[in-house]
Amino acid sequence: MSEYLPKEVRAGLEEARKRDLRRRSRLRVMAGDEIYPVLRFWETGFALDAGQVQHLRGLVDIYDGSRHVYQSLIVASGVEAGELICTMKRSTMAHDKVPLDYVRDENAPVGYLPRD
């Protein structure tokens, strides 16, 4: 049915669809100092608006609102249907604490009280 619509109407509908995806998604990609909203996200990649960024490669950080979720390495990106499809080689969960390099005893005290 969309082939019967004028080109301007199809472009307007596509822009409204992208705007709705950007509004609903809280995910953001931070590449250097640039921040791009994620339109779609799946296990091995994500899609960005091709109108905002033409090519993206390298190490990026993915945020859900203000919370750092992943650090990902993008190895390939290509444009399909107005979306920049980014393929991730690896995606590592971001942690809010530094990982320990030793085993912590479950019964260890949380803190020590000073002697008076």
pTM: 0.64
Highest-confidence segment of 14-18, 25-29, 42-46, 100-104: 42-46
Instruction: Give how many domains the chain has, as a whole number.
Output: 1
Beta-carbon contacts of residue 44 (< 8 Å; ≥ 6 apart): 87, 88
What ranges make up the beta strands (E) of 18-82? 27-31, 34-42, 45-49, 58-64, 67-80
Residue 111 within any structural domain of the chain:
no
Sign (positive or negative) of CA dihedral 7, 54, 67, 46: positive
Residue 101 within any structural domain of the chain:
no
Question: Residue 16: its pLDDT value, please?
Answer: 74
- Cβ atoms of residues 73 and 90 within 8 Å: yes
Residue 105 within any structural domain of the chain:
no
Residue 39 within any structural domain of the chain:
yes
Q: Would you say residue 66 has pLDDT above 80?
A: yes
CATH of the domain at 80: 2.40.10.430
Q: How confident is the model at residue 23 (pLDDT cuts 50, 70, 90)?
A: low
Residue 104 within any structural domain of the chain:
no
Range of the domain at 74: 2-93
Residue 48 within any structural domain of the chain:
yes
